[in-house]
Amino acid sequence: MPIELPNAETLLARLVDQIRPNLSERTALVGIHTGGAWLAERLHRLLGIKAALGTIDVSFYRDDYGSRGLHPRPQRSDIPFDVESADIIIVDDVLYTGRTTRAALNELFDYGRPGRVDLAVLCDRHGRELPIGARYCAFTLPQPLPASRSLRLSRDATGTLSLRLIDA
Protein backbone atom coordinates (compact mmCIF):
# COMPACT_ATOMS: atom_id res chain seq x y z
CA MET A 1 0.00 0.00 0.00
CA PRO A 2 1.48 3.41 -0.93
CA ILE A 3 2.30 5.62 2.02
CA GLU A 4 0.61 9.01 2.01
CA LEU A 5 3.08 11.75 2.86
CA PRO A 6 1.85 15.00 4.40
CA ASN A 7 2.56 18.38 2.84
CA ALA A 8 5.94 19.64 4.10
CA GLU A 9 4.82 23.28 4.15
CA THR A 10 1.92 22.38 6.44
CA LEU A 11 4.32 20.50 8.70
CA LEU A 12 6.64 23.48 8.78
CA ALA A 13 3.78 25.70 9.99
CA ARG A 14 3.02 23.13 12.70
CA LEU A 15 6.66 23.15 13.80
CA VAL A 16 6.59 26.95 14.07
CA ASP A 17 3.53 26.70 16.38
CA GLN A 18 5.25 24.10 18.55
CA ILE A 19 8.49 26.05 18.97
CA ARG A 20 7.13 29.58 19.36
CA PRO A 21 5.88 29.32 22.99
CA ASN A 22 9.34 28.20 24.13
CA LEU A 23 11.45 30.90 22.47
CA SER A 24 13.82 32.83 24.68
CA GLU A 25 16.41 35.58 24.30
CA ARG A 26 19.06 32.89 24.05
CA THR A 27 17.41 30.71 21.38
CA ALA A 28 19.57 29.89 18.37
CA LEU A 29 18.99 27.49 15.47
CA VAL A 30 21.43 25.06 13.89
CA GLY A 31 20.32 23.25 10.73
CA ILE A 32 21.90 19.97 9.66
CA HIS A 33 22.95 19.91 5.99
CA THR A 34 21.13 19.75 3.66
CA GLY A 35 17.41 19.33 4.40
CA GLY A 36 17.71 20.52 7.98
CA ALA A 37 19.55 23.65 6.83
CA TRP A 38 16.69 24.54 4.46
CA LEU A 39 14.18 24.05 7.26
CA ALA A 40 16.24 26.05 9.75
CA GLU A 41 16.48 28.90 7.26
CA ARG A 42 12.67 29.06 7.03
CA LEU A 43 12.16 28.64 10.80
CA HIS A 44 14.72 31.35 11.50
CA ARG A 45 12.74 33.81 9.41
CA LEU A 46 9.26 32.74 10.53
CA LEU A 47 10.17 32.80 14.22
CA GLY A 48 12.16 36.05 13.94
CA ILE A 49 15.16 34.64 15.80
CA LYS A 50 17.82 37.22 16.60
CA ALA A 51 20.92 35.00 16.81
CA ALA A 52 22.49 34.36 13.40
CA LEU A 53 21.55 31.05 11.81
CA GLY A 54 23.99 28.15 12.20
CA THR A 55 24.51 25.18 9.91
CA ILE A 56 26.34 21.95 10.54
CA ASP A 57 27.65 19.14 8.32
CA VAL A 58 28.21 16.04 10.39
CA SER A 59 30.41 14.20 7.84
CA PHE A 60 33.47 14.53 10.08
CA TYR A 61 31.62 13.10 13.10
CA ARG A 62 29.75 10.18 11.55
CA ASP A 63 30.18 6.82 13.26
CA ASP A 64 30.21 4.93 9.94
CA TYR A 65 33.43 6.63 8.79
CA GLY A 66 35.45 3.53 9.70
CA SER A 67 33.34 1.28 7.48
CA ARG A 68 32.17 3.64 4.74
CA GLY A 69 34.95 6.18 4.53
CA LEU A 70 34.62 9.92 4.22
CA HIS A 71 31.44 11.18 2.63
CA PRO A 72 32.12 12.99 -0.61
CA ARG A 73 31.72 16.77 -0.77
CA PRO A 74 31.23 17.65 2.89
CA GLN A 75 29.94 21.18 3.50
CA ARG A 76 31.47 23.77 5.78
CA SER A 77 29.93 23.95 9.25
CA ASP A 78 29.15 27.52 10.28
CA ILE A 79 28.22 28.47 13.83
CA PRO A 80 28.15 32.28 13.74
CA PHE A 81 26.91 32.80 17.32
CA ASP A 82 28.44 32.15 20.72
CA VAL A 83 27.54 28.58 21.69
CA GLU A 84 28.38 29.15 25.36
CA SER A 85 25.08 29.17 27.32
CA ALA A 86 22.92 29.45 24.19
CA ASP A 87 19.59 27.58 23.95
CA ILE A 88 20.16 25.71 20.75
CA ILE A 89 17.57 23.94 18.64
CA ILE A 90 19.10 21.44 16.23
CA VAL A 91 16.91 21.23 13.13
CA ASP A 92 16.74 18.20 10.85
CA ASP A 93 14.27 17.05 8.23
CA VAL A 94 13.89 13.39 9.21
CA LEU A 95 14.60 11.60 12.49
CA TYR A 96 15.56 7.95 11.95
CA THR A 97 18.33 6.07 13.81
CA GLY A 98 19.41 9.10 15.84
CA ARG A 99 23.04 8.71 14.72
CA THR A 100 23.05 11.98 12.79
CA THR A 101 21.74 13.81 15.87
CA ARG A 102 24.47 12.17 17.99
CA ALA A 103 27.10 13.36 15.53
CA ALA A 104 25.63 16.88 15.49
CA LEU A 105 25.67 17.02 19.32
CA ASN A 106 29.32 15.99 19.41
CA GLU A 107 30.24 18.61 16.84
CA LEU A 108 28.25 21.33 18.63
CA PHE A 109 30.10 20.72 21.89
CA ASP A 110 33.41 21.35 20.12
CA TYR A 111 32.27 24.96 19.79
CA GLY A 112 31.44 25.44 23.46
CA ARG A 113 28.97 24.44 26.20
CA PRO A 114 25.38 25.27 25.25
CA GLY A 115 22.88 26.06 28.01
CA ARG A 116 20.33 23.69 26.48
CA VAL A 117 19.94 21.68 23.30
CA ASP A 118 16.65 20.55 21.74
CA LEU A 119 15.84 18.75 18.54
CA ALA A 120 13.21 19.82 16.00
CA VAL A 121 12.30 17.55 13.08
CA LEU A 122 9.71 17.63 10.36
CA CYS A 123 9.13 13.89 10.38
CA ASP A 124 9.90 10.91 12.63
CA ARG A 125 10.14 7.66 10.66
CA HIS A 126 10.88 5.36 13.69
CA GLY A 127 13.88 3.02 13.81
CA ARG A 128 15.90 4.62 16.60
CA GLU A 129 19.22 2.99 17.50
CA LEU A 130 20.17 5.54 20.17
CA PRO A 131 18.33 7.06 23.14
CA ILE A 132 17.37 10.23 21.26
CA GLY A 133 14.00 11.93 20.90
CA ALA A 134 12.75 15.16 19.35
CA ARG A 135 11.16 17.81 21.55
CA TYR A 136 9.53 19.29 18.46
CA CYS A 137 8.18 16.93 15.82
CA ALA A 138 5.56 17.91 13.23
CA PHE A 139 4.64 14.43 12.08
CA THR A 140 5.27 10.80 13.03
CA LEU A 141 4.77 8.12 10.41
CA PRO A 142 2.05 5.70 11.50
CA GLN A 143 4.35 2.76 10.81
CA PRO A 144 8.11 2.35 10.56
CA LEU A 145 9.52 2.54 7.05
CA PRO A 146 11.52 -0.43 5.77
CA ALA A 147 15.29 0.21 5.76
CA SER A 148 15.27 0.01 1.96
CA ARG A 149 13.28 3.24 1.72
CA SER A 150 14.69 6.69 2.23
CA LEU A 151 12.58 9.68 3.24
CA ARG A 152 14.00 12.98 2.00
CA LEU A 153 13.14 16.63 1.96
CA SER A 154 13.48 18.45 -1.34
CA ARG A 155 13.25 22.10 -2.28
CA ASP A 156 12.09 23.35 -5.66
CA ALA A 157 13.16 26.47 -7.54
CA THR A 158 10.52 28.60 -5.75
CA GLY A 159 11.79 27.45 -2.34
CA THR A 160 8.76 25.22 -1.63
CA LEU A 161 9.57 22.19 0.51
CA SER A 162 8.21 18.70 -0.05
CA LEU A 163 8.80 15.22 1.34
CA ARG A 164 9.42 12.27 -0.94
CA LEU A 165 10.14 8.60 -0.61
CA ILE A 166 12.91 7.00 -2.63
CA ASP A 167 14.58 3.62 -2.73
CA ALA A 168 17.76 3.91 -0.70
CB of 149 to another protein, least distance (A): 26
Task: Tell me which stretch binds another protein (CB under 8 A): 62-70, 93-101, 136-144, 146-154.
Answer: 62-70
Phi, psi of 59 (to 5 degrees): -50, -40
Residues 103-162 that bind another protein (CB under 8 A): 106, 109-112
Q: Is the Cβ of residue 91 or residue 108 nearer to another protein in the bound state?
A: 108
Which residues ranging from 74 to 113 are in contact with another protein (CB under 8 A)?
Answer: 74-78, 83, 106, 109-112
Residue 66 CB, nearest approach to another protein (Å): 8
How far is Cα 19 from Cα 75, in angstroms, rounded to an integer?
27
Calculated CA dihedral for residues 142, 168, 70, 38, nearest 10 degrees: -60
Distance in Å, CB of 30 to another protein, minimum = 14
Relative to beta strand 27-32, strand 54-56 is: parallel
The answer to whether 167 and 148 are in contact (CB under 8 A) is yes
Residue selected from 17, 22, 65, 115 as contacting another protein according to rule CB under 8 A: 65
98 Ramachandran zone, left/alpha/beta (phi>0; psi -120 to 50): left
User: Nearest distance from residue 56's CB to another protein, in Å?
Assistant: 11
Q: By CB under 8 A, name the one of 73, 131, 143, 166 that touches another protein.
A: 73
Look at residue 44 and give its three-state secondary structure: helix
